[in-house]
Amino acid sequence: MEERRSARVGTVSGLALLAGGTAVAAVAGGTHSIFATILLGMLAVGMGHALLTEIRRQARRRSLGGWAAEDTANTVLLASWAAGALIVTTLAVAPTMVRAVGVMLTFGYAVSCIYFVRERRRTISTPAPDPATVPAETA
């Protein structure tokens, strides 16, 4: 059971960091060709979609105990990434494009955190369907 809980927390947190890091790498200086920049941007968008899908999956899972420790950990981590992105965006001396991505990451992480909490609370408050009353699927 402990292994499954840590996997739930690690997936959201890891995807959030990978999406953000890839987005920053796409616009950060260096010798990127336009092709590499576009590919990194597309990869960041794909990881953002994977993050949203994972947040939705974890928020809508059914559990007996209601709000669990891993829910709190996911919420705190997403809020921390939002705060960290905001701090780095405001304090770092960086090119305009990197700052723009920082603002987008701040907004994205904050919205992801709010979305997770809202969906999780909605799932917990909705009673699970009774298996006896659910009609069997026909082949």
Domain extent listing, the chain: 9-124
Query: Which backbone phi and psi does 18 adopt, to 5 degrees?
Result: -65, -45
Structure tokens at 55: 């947040």
More confident residue, 132 or 28: 28
Per-residue pLDDT tens for 23-35? 888 888 776 788 8
Q: Average pLDDT, stretch 49-62?
A: 91
How high is the pLDDT of residue 96?
84
Model pTM above 0.75: yes
| pLDDT on residue 108 | 93
Quick one: which of 47, 61, 63 has its CA closest to 12?
47
The answer for residues whose C-beta is within 8 angstroms of residue 62's C-beta and 6 or more apart is 123, 128
42-46, 53-57, 61-65: least confidently modelled range: 61-65
**Whole-angstrom distance, CA of residue 120 vs CA of residue 90:** 31
